[in-house]
Amino acid sequence: MYQISLQRFKPSLRAMTAIMLLVVGATHLSGCDQSAKQIKDLQQEVWQNPDSPEAYIKLGTAHARQEQYDAAIDAYEKALSLDPDSGERVFPVLGAIAFNREEYEKALDYFHKSLAFSPEDSLRFYDMGNVYLKLEQNENAIEAYRKAIEFSVSFEEAYYNLAISYIRNGQKKEAEKIYSWLQERNNYLSVSLEGHLNPDK
C-alpha cells in the first residue's frame, strides 16, 4: 500500500534535493493525465461498489499520491465507517497526512490508533518520535525512538533521530554513543550527526 513519506530529521543536500525535485516534477507533469484518469476510474469503482471499503482505500490512496488530502481523508474515513478494521491500513496514512499538514496532535492520535492493530510496529513508533521531535517534547521523542529500535534493532534513522533528541535534551554522551555506532554502519548519517554534536566546527 502506498505510504506518504514522513519528514525525516536528516540533513538535506541542496544539489541532491534540486535534482530530485526536477525528476519528481518531470514525472508529475507526464503523469498528471494518467493520475486524473486513475482517480476518475476509481471514483467509478466506488460508485459501482459503494459498500466496498477496499474501493475507498484505493481512491484515498490515489488522492493522497496527488496531495489531494481533503479528498483522501474523505475516502479513508468512508472506508473506516464501512469497516473499522481497515484502520490498520488507513490510520498510518491519515497520521502522515496530518503530519504533512503540521497537525501534530492529530497525527499522534492516528499513530496511537494504528498501534492498536500492530503494537510492535517500529515505523509507527518512529513516526510518533518524529511528531514529538517537532513538538519539542524530547523525552517523549526519546521513548518513541527507543521503542522503534526495540522492535527493529538495525533501524539506523531511528538511532539518528534518537541522537538528535538526546542532543536537544542535553544528553550529549548518549548521542556520542550512537555516533560511534553509526560510524560503522552509515557514513552519511554519522557525518551529519557529527555536525550536530560539534556545531561550531
The domain boundary, picked from 119, 151, 182, lies at 119
Q: What is the pTM of this model?
A: 0.81
| Same-domain pairing of 89 and 112 | yes
CA distance to 4, 25, 48, 54, 67, per residue, from 38 (Å): 18, 19, 15, 15, 14
> Residue 22 falls within a domain, yes or no?
no
3-state class of 16 per DSSP? helix
* Same domain for 132 and 187: yes
Cα–Cα distance, 161 to 100 (Å, whole number) = 18
What's the pLDDT tens digit per position in 42-68?
A: 999 999 999 999 999 999 999 999 999
Percent of the chain with pLDDT over 70: 83
Q: Comparing 2-16, 37-51, 119-133, 166-180, which segment has the lowest mean pLDDT?
A: 2-16
Q: Is 79's pLDDT higher than 70?
A: yes
Q: Do 147 and 115 share a structural domain?
A: no
- Grid cell, residue 155, equals 533501524
| Domain presence at residue 130 | yes
103 and 129 part of one domain: no
Asked whether the predicted pLDDT for residue 10 surpasses 50, the reply is no
> Cell numbers 493520475 label which residue?
35
Nearest residue to 158 via CA among 123, 107, 191, 134: 123
The grid coordinates listed for 175 are 548521542
Final residue of a structural domain among 119, 142, 163: 119
Domain that holds residue 92: 36-119
The CATH number for 113's domain is 1.25.40.10
Claim to verify: residue 83 and residue 143 sit in the same structural domain: no
Instruction: Mark which of 96, 119, 142 sits at the end of a domain.
Output: 119
124 and 104 share one domain? no
